[in-house]
Amino acid sequence: MDTAAAHATPASADDHAGYMQYALNLARKSPPKPTNYRVGAVLLDAKANAVLATGYTLECEGNTHAEQCCFIKLAEQHQVAEERLADVLPEETVLYTTVEPCFKRLSGNLPCVERILRLGKAIKTVYVGVKEPEKFVGENTGRKMLEDAGIKVVLVQGMEKEILDVATAGHLP
Write the CA distances from 153 to 25, 32, 146, integer angstroms: 21, 27, 7
Q: Is residue 68 part of a domain?
A: yes
- pTM confidence score: 0.90
> Residue 122 sits in which domain range?
3-9+21-167
Q: Is residue 40 part of a domain?
A: yes
Q: In a 3-state reduction of DSSP, which class is residue 107?
A: coil
pLDDT tens digits, 121-166: 899 999 999 986 665 555 668 888 999 999 999 999 999 999 999 9
At residue 1, the pLDDT reads 33
CATH number (domain holding residue 137): 3.40.140.10
- Count of the separate structural domains present in the chain: 1
Asked if residues 39 and 65 have their Cβ atoms less than 8 Å apart, the reply is: yes
Please tell me which residue in 67, 82, 132, 147 is annotated as part of the active site. 67
Looking at the chain, which runs of residues are DSSP E strands?
A: 40-45, 50-56, 93-99, 123-130, 152-155
Beta-sheet pairing, 40-45 with 93-99: antiparallel
User: Is 82 a known active-site residue?
Assistant: no
At residue 4, φ and ψ (nearest 5 deg) are -65, -45
